[in-house]
């Protein structure tokens, strides 16, 4: 009896020590490992934020975050439309490397053998969550829960109503890990509240959060009180939607601060592509918009914030990409991996250990349209039509074609683009009715002309009118 009592005592002691050790390891890990949050706006314009110089839209919470961190003026996404841009961000690779080139998902989605940033974090004992818009495939193998995310609270498709819908399609259904969520209120608020509760629930364990709002993507839905707030605004619906977006990001930041996590959380904020004219977005001095290879299509607002690790009130002018988020996040978390990524670790630049451009060159391609940036020189190429060359240092609006004046640079950029294209695979799907539309838009913008049409519906109407005139 005595021996059993002693044995039981030592077993309890050993189990208790093990439990305390595990708790100590978790506590130590939480102290040393930063949280990482990527906040993605949808179709927001380059100039639609106060921290970018906007005067008519209110974004006080993001402006405060920008002041505490670093604002990038020459940051770009890897695609000019939603789905491929997200594929590049979440894999840290040019999405064309695995055939994800056109918009939509082609019924294929992400390649099964490509690793996501969530996969990398999950392997290294991080909790992971995706919130909001997914748009990277609707099959079981493409579900966020199969791509590294412990939790998914959002919708699979590319857009949806901001208010409850009685019988939504599969892609439009708000879900939590595959089960439908019936919600009340406004979707931007719903996603914001979930981000706040997740922070509260996981304050003892490092986490990676991918917070992909669908605002201000169409449909242009806003809350009644915010429409009233901006009733005399020339961009009333956009102003109301942006206010909700900013308000909810502010609630997340406040919760991080309240739980003493803000200083140890690396936060990225950006838009998934250039502003859309359908949302009345403002791309400021940039030429073009969502869907084309001019600066207005892929240059985006970009903030990086990391407490005391990164000095506040910074403006960084180096050439940067959304592809950098993966590698920068891994470096911040001290995670080693052998993945071949196309991004760069931005932390040495933000800490002043490196200067200049993180990227010497960047590339874009979507089917017939392509672009390449080398330093300040930019080439836009349209298949079977030609190309234009710009010097962005003196012509940010891409109005003056230098092709005939600087043939040497034009030839060099063509060579760079072809060399990059040799590393890509064939696109796995196209864009159907949108292909002739985007071709026409590029052709027009290359000639500094206004396109006759900007959607498949307007193209059809235009062609009918032209046919009637000829008859």
CATH code: domain of residue 466: 3.30.1120.10
- How many domains are there within the chain? 2
Measure CA of the first residue to CA of the last residue in the chain; give whole Å.
108
Q: Is residue 15 part of a domain?
A: no
User: Which residues lie closer than 8 Å to 437 by C-beta, 6 or more apart?
Assistant: 453, 454, 455, 456, 459
* Distance (Å, whole) CA 20 – CA 27: 10
C-beta separation of 440 from 456 below 8 A: no
Q: Is residue 8 part of a domain?
A: no
pLDDT in tens, 49-103: 999 999 999 999 999 999 999 999 999 999 999 999 999 999 999 999 999 999 9
Q: Are residue 298 and residue 347 in the same domain, yes or no?
A: yes
Q: Is residue 4 part of a domain?
A: no
* Res. 308: pLDDT tops 90: no
Rama region for 363: left / alpha / beta (φ>0; ψ in -120 to 50; rest): beta
Q: Are residue 309 and residue 377 in the same domain, yes or no?
A: no
Q: Are residue 79 and residue 154 in the same domain, yes or no?
A: yes
Q: Are residue 288 and residue 333 in the same domain, yes or no?
A: yes
- Range in 3-7, 144-148, 414-418, 446-450 the model is least confident about: 3-7
Please confirm whether the linkage preceding 461 is cis (ω < 30° from 0): no
Q: Is residue 11 part of a domain?
A: no
Domain limits for position 90: 35-359
Q: Is residue 16 part of a domain?
A: no
pLDDT at 470: 86
Domain boundary among 359, 374, 396: 359
Q: Are residue 255 and residue 402 in the same domain, yes or no?
A: no
pLDDT at 363: 98
Given pLDDT bands bounded at 50, 70 and 90, which one contains residue 337?
A: confident
Given pLDDT bands bounded at 50, 70 and 90, which one contains residue 159?
A: very high
Q: Are residue 298 and residue 368 in the same domain, yes or no?
A: no
* Res. 21: pLDDT tops 50: no
Q: Are residue 338 and residue 419 in the same domain, yes or no?
A: no
Q: Are residue 352 and residue 394 in the same domain, yes or no?
A: no
For 388, 396, 400, 402, the CA distances from 405, given in Å and listed in that order, are 11, 18, 10, 5
* Distance (Å, whole) CA 351 – CA 121: 23
> Model-level pTM greater than 0.85?
yes
pLDDT in tens, 91-148: 999 999 999 999 999 999 999 999 999 999 999 999 999 999 999 999 999 999 999 9
Q: Are residue 162 and residue 223 in the same domain, yes or no?
A: yes
> Which residue in 350, 182, 361 sits closest to 266, CA to CA?
350
| CATH code of 88's domain | 3.40.720.10
Q: Is residue 213 part of a domain?
A: yes
Given pLDDT bands bounded at 50, 70 and 90, which one contains residue 229?
A: very high
Q: Are residue 305 and residue 454 in the same domain, yes or no?
A: no
């Amino acid at each position: 009896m005595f021996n059993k009592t002693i044995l039981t005592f030592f077993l309890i002691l050993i189990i208790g020590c093990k439990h305390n050790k595990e708790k100590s390891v978790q506590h130590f890990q939480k102290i040393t490992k930063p949280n990482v949050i990527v906040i993605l706006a949808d179709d927001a314009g380059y100039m639609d934020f106060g921290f970018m110089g906007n005067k008519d839209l209110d974004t006080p919470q993001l402006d405060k975050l920008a002041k505490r961190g670093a604002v990038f003026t020459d940051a770009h996404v890897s695609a000019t439309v939603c789905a491929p841009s997200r594929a590049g961000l979440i894999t840290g690779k040019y999405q064309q490397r695995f055939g994800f080139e056109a918009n939509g998902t082609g019924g294929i989605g992400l390649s099964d053998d490509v690793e996501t940033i969530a996969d990398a974090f999950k392997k290294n004992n991080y909790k992971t969550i995706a919130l909001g818009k997914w748009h990277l495939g609707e099959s079981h193998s493409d579900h966020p829960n199969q791509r590294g995310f412990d939790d998914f609270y959002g919708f699979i498709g590319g857009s949806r109503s901001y208010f409850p819908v009685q019988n939504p399609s599969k892609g439009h259904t708000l879900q939590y890990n595959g089960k439908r969520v019936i919600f009340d209120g406004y979707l931007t608020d719903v996603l914001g509240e979930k981000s706040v509760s997740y922070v509260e629930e996981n304050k003892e364990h490092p986490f990676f959060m991918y917070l992909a709002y669908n605002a201000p993507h169409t449909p242009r839905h806003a809350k009644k009180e915010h429409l009233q707030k901006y009733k005399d605004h020339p961009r009333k619906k956009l102003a109301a939607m942006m206010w909700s977006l900013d308000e909810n990001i502010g609630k997340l930041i406040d919760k991080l601060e309240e739980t003493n996590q803000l200083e140890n959380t690396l936060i990225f904020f950006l838009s998934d592509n250039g502003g859309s004219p359908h949302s009345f977005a403002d791309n400021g001095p940039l030429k073009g918009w969502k869907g084309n290879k001019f600066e207005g299509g892929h240059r985006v607002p970009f903030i990086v914030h990391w407490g005391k690790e990164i000095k506040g009130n910074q403006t960084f002018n180096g050439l940067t990409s959304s592809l950098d988020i993966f590698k920068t996040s891994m470096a911040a978390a001290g995670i080693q991996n052998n993945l071949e990524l196309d991004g760069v670790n931005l932390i040495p630049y933000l800490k002043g250990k490196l200067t200049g451009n993180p990227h010497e060159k960047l590339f874009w391609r979507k089917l017939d349209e392509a672009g390449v940036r080398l330093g300040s020189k930019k080439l836009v190429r349209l298949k079977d039509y030609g190309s234009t060359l710009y010097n962005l240092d003196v012509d940010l609006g891409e109005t003056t074609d230098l092709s005939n004046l600087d043939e040497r640079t034009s030839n060099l950029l063509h060579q760079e683009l072809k060399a990059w294209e040799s590393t890509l695979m064939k696109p796995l799907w196209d864009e159907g009715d949108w292909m002739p539309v985007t071709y026409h838009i590029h052709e027009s913008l290359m000639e500094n002309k206004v396109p006759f049409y900007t959607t498949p519906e307007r193209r059809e109407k235009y062609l009918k009118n032209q046919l009637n005139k000829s008859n």
